[in-house]
Amino acid sequence: MKNWLLAISLGLSLYSQAQQKYSLQQCVTIALQNNLQLQQSQLQIQNNQNILDQSKWQRYPTLNFSGGQGLQSGRNIDPFTNQFVEQTVNFSNFNLSTGVNLFNGYQQKNTIKQNQYNLQASQKELESSRNTLILNVATNYLSVLNNQEQLEFARRQLETTRLQLERTEKLVKAGSLPEINLYDIQSQLANDELSIVNAQNNIELSKLALKQLMNLYGSEVIEVEPINLPLPSTSAPYDATLEQVYNAAIKYLPDMEAANLRIESAKTGIDIAKGAKLPSLSLGGGLSSSFSSAAPRQRFVGDGGASQVRDIPSTTQYITYGGVTLPVIVRTTVPSGAIQSFGYFDQLGFNRNASLSLSLRVPIFNGYQVRYRIAGAQIQQKNAEFQSQIVRNQVRQTIEQAYYNMLNAAKRYEATARQVGTLELSFKAAEARLNAGALNAADYNIAKNNVDRARASLIQAKYDYIFRTKILDFYQSKPLSLE
């Protein structure tokens, strides 16, 4: 039972996949979502945005804090007396610093400007890649439709040949036609069956190309929705002249906008390099303090009152009288105050110091580094200008080629349509003569093959003309539509 349920579920899944049809818009949406190159371009845009944001934040002051804790043994310096002491010293230090660039030859301002150009250029390049992908999807979508129409045409021709085969068999049995005619019709039937196989293969190949653009597995079953394509108008092949198409392309194509933005970025790079020749001015400040265990733990703190005269026994001078050693009494003037403890945070507050600095840097000679940076930036500008001209030339040449291809496709469609009309009349006459026994099957097959090839060529010419017009629409930034 489980196996049966699994088989039924798999069959329903395959049936639903086989019935699923994709519109052109759905194919475009899936291709845009799954294209890895576009995703890489989006990451590059995010990176350029980060670079731009970072350059903007560099205009603001910096603020940094540092601290340290250490232990020293042996011969050290008492930070309060600046005398050497022989003891283990435990020390701490803290520092809070800030700084801001007041002027640096407008380098920071121009860096922000250049990063903005780079971000906009990368966005336009992504837009160009998206447009190219959309055009490729539309091209392969049209190819699938073309091959499907060729398959339908081949099936109709096969059905026509089968009907003719039935009539020929009756005429041969009746003795109205020789048996060789039957063999010729059977040969034509085999050719029509081969045409169907070839058309089916072409459909699968065109679908495979479409699925690869959509980044789908080749084994996935897809169907495309048919589109009622309008018949080409041979009286007015296109509604714009070659010059109008080119002017619109130069104005609206993201390729040209990206190339122009790269030129502006290179020009700004020259300004950045020139800014290094100018003086720079910066403002800095700091707040620091420290602690040392070598400092005394207590200290005398005066209160500002009147001094007092006191007799204090000396700790260094003594006198011996009658075998008794007594300290010398020293009369000392003692300021008013008290002995207070001097702890960790008291010492940090006592050792606190602040600083404020204004720094001026004037470049005089630095090994011609600025000169060569300016020269390198000017080369980058020339390169960007050449690249812009290359893009412009490529656009012009591609549009010229596409426009003349469109005109030729329109002429080919018109000529093929006339040919089909003439060959259809000839084929009808041949068919009537064959049925009347006045024409052999070989001549009939020649007439049929001629009209079949002409009809197939007409289908191909129709899609070729429509494709050429869509390319010209693409260069004018018109919305993609096959209606």
Q: How does pLDDT run across 20-56, given as a tens digit for each residue?
A: 689 888 999 999 999 999 999 999 999 999 999 999 9
Check pLDDT > 60 for residue 125: yes
Q: To the nearest whole number, what is the mean pLDDT of the chain?
A: 84
How many Å apart are CA 432 and CA 444, to the nearest integer?
A: 10
Q: How does pLDDT run across 173-217, given as a tens digit for each residue?
A: 887 778 887 888 888 889 989 989 999 999 999 999 999 999 999
Please say whether the beta carbons of 286 and 355 come within 8 A. Answer: yes
- If one counts every other C-beta atom within 10 angstroms of the C-beta of residue 372, the result is 11
How many Å apart are CA 342 and CA 6, to the nearest integer?
A: 85
Q: What DSSP designation does 479 have?
A: P
Contacts (Cβ under 8 Å, ≥6 apart) of 12: none
Q: What's the rounded mean pLDDT across residues 456-479?
A: 84
Q: How does pLDDT run across 271-309, given as a tens digit for each residue?
A: 999 999 999 999 999 999 988 887 777 665 555 556 666
pLDDT of residue 459: 84
Whole-number Cα distances in Å, 24 to 149, 181, 206, 227, 258? 17, 47, 14, 9, 28
Q: How does pLDDT run across 332-351, given as a tens digit for each residue?
A: 776 665 666 778 888 888 88
- In one letter, which amino acid is 325? T
- In one letter, which amino acid is 46? Q
Of 297, 262, 288, residue with least CA distance to 125: 262
Pairing mode, strands 89-103 and 62-72:
antiparallel
Pairing mode, strands 308-321 and 324-334:
antiparallel
Check pLDDT > 50 for residue 5: no
Of 459, 382, 450, 367, residue with least CA distance to 413: 459
Tokens of residue 431, six digits: 């068919």
pTM for this entry: 0.77
pLDDT of residue 13: 45
Check pLDDT > 50 for residue 3: no
The values of phi and psi at residue 86, to 5°, are -105, 85
How many Å apart are CA 430 and CA 3, to the nearest integer?
A: 59
How many Å apart are CA 242 and CA 348, to the nearest integer?
A: 81
How many Å apart are CA 299 and CA 393, to the nearest integer?
A: 86
Q: What's the rounded mean pLDDT across residues 459-471?
A: 85
pLDDT of residue 11: 47
| Sequence ranges of the domains in the chain | 298-341
Q: How does pLDDT run across 126-165, given as a tens digit for each residue?
A: 999 998 999 899 889 988 988 998 898 889 888 888 888 8
Q: What is the C-alpha radius of gyration for the chain, rounded to an integer number of angstroms?
A: 46
